[in-house]
Amino acid sequence: MKNIFTKVFLVIMFCFTPSYGKDIVIESNISINQKDLNKIYMKYIDKTYPEKVRPYKKVQEVIAWKELKKTITYEDLRLFIEEYPNGKFIKEAKRFLEDYKSFFHNGYQYLPIKSPYTGKIWLDRNLGAKTVCQNKKNKQCYGDHYQFMGEGIDICPSGFKIPNINELRNENIDFLKLPLAGKRFYSNHKLGYVDQYAYIWSSSIKQTGKGRNNPWHLSVQHNNYVTFDVYDKNGGLSVRCIGI
């Protein structure tokens, strides 16, 4: 509480200081939230005590960069570059920005995202999906169903492939935001289990010993119950590509 009062006092002084007063207009019906108050406070400190602020900013930049690298996104990189345009990590940040920008593949837009759990790079949505899933039952994020394609080099964008079974096992399922797109049955190719299950192909094959070697896949129920099983390669499941 004392810290907030101190900031409010400095803001009031800041507003009535001739050299800075022109930067802000105060009206009786405007309330300043904590985030905006912090910005005004830091602007005042930065202009008034630049030599003292500089070491603090360097420390903050290092902390921000470490946090950013845990789960890199295009938007976070853009904001970092905007915040530290002359910083220590600016060259690396700009290089990452180029790597993590969105691109189009077969008419659909995708964005590479880095998992904070495994460090792997994934596409942000299923192949053929129009949007990222915020709702598991949103048909716009279901994407297409594919018969088994091995590593999927022919269907995944350049630099990506279908994940193997270990890459799926090790990943945090919530991070992938998988939609309940169901599957196409290998017998008649009709859709089934839509809004009930998410199915994702792996590139790994299970040796069944019965003359048929079927690929592994990930299955996620609507209640987030996860299993791994095999499915006939002639059936149709969703694809989520991972970086090579």
Question: For the chain, what is the largest distance between any 2 Cα atoms, rounded to a whole number of angstroms?
Answer: 85
Residue 19 scores a pLDDT above 80: no
**Which of 167, 162, 128, 168 lies closest to 145 in space, CA to CA?**
128
- Comparing CA positions, the residue from 102, 91, 100, 94 lying closest to residue 73 is 100
Identify which has the larger pLDDT, 213 or 157.
Answer: 157
When pLDDT is cut at 50, 70 and 90, the band that residue 23 belongs to is very low
* Average pLDDT value for residue range 203-228: 89
Q: Report the chain's mean pLDDT, rounded to a whole number.
A: 81
Domain range list for the chain:
113-243
Helix (H, G, I), strand (E, B) or coil at 173: helix
For 146-162, b/e burial (b = at least 16 CB within 10 A) is bebbebbeebbbeebbb
pLDDT tens per residue across span 165-180: 999 999 999 999 999 9
pTM of the model: 0.65
pLDDT digits (tens, 9 = 90+) for 27-81: 445 555 655 665 665 566 566 655 555 665 777 888 887 887 776 677 777 788 8
pLDDT at 44: 61
Give the H/E segment covering residue 155. none
Which carries the bigger pLDDT value, residue 227 or residue 13? 227
Phi, psi of 193 (to 5 degrees): 60, 25
The pLDDT of residue 9 is 47
Residue 64 main-chain phi, psi, to 5 deg: -65, -40
The predicted structure's pLDDT at residue 149: 87
Nearest to 40 by CA among 15, 59, 16, 70: 15
What are the pLDDT digits (tens) for 92-101?
878 777 777 8
| Beta-strand relationship, 242-243 and 226-230 | unpaired
Report the candidate in 45, 76, 80 with the shortest Cα–Cα distance to residue 61. Answer: 80
CB 148 within 8 A of CB 164: no
Judged by average pLDDT, the poorest of 150-164, 171-185, 218-232 is: 150-164
- 115-128 average pLDDT score: 94
Residue 26 pLDDT class (50, 70, 90 cuts): very low
